[in-house]
Amino acid sequence: MPRGDGTGPAGGDGPGTGRGAGRGFNSGRGGRNSGGAYGPGGDCICVACNIHVPHQPGVSCTSLKCPKCGRTLIREELYNDRKKS
């Protein structure tokens, strides 16, 4: 509305105008496990040695190292989900 009288160009903030709120980076996608938490139980595993370490709530498995070979551990459920796909 360049003249303030309502006779401006059609459009606005709707679809197709490039002026929407946007989605942001990774918005609505979730994390590596699509936003699903695996809960407090389960194990952290080393995929090289097949060592299982009980998961500690509040501690990411990827912050732990394998006691045998020193590789980074991952959540067992995450590993199993990735094997399926």
Range of the domain at 51: 43-84
- Domain for residue 48, yes or no? yes
Q: Specify the amino acid at residue 54.
A: P
For residue 26, what pLDDT is reported?
A: 47
**Helix residue ranges per DSSP H, the chain:** 76-84
Name the domain count of the chain.
1
For residue 85, what pLDDT is reported?
A: 75
- Domain for residue 58, yes or no? yes
Q: What does the radius of gyration of the chain's CA atoms come to, in whole angstroms?
A: 24
For residue range 22-73, list pLDDT tens digits in order: 555 544 444 555 555 777 789 999 999 999 999 999 999 999 999 999 999 9
Q: Residue 13 corresponds to which tokens in the numbers above? A: 């903030």
- Domain for residue 34, yes or no? no
* Cα(45)–Cα(71) distance, integer angstroms: 10
- Domain for residue 13, yes or no? no
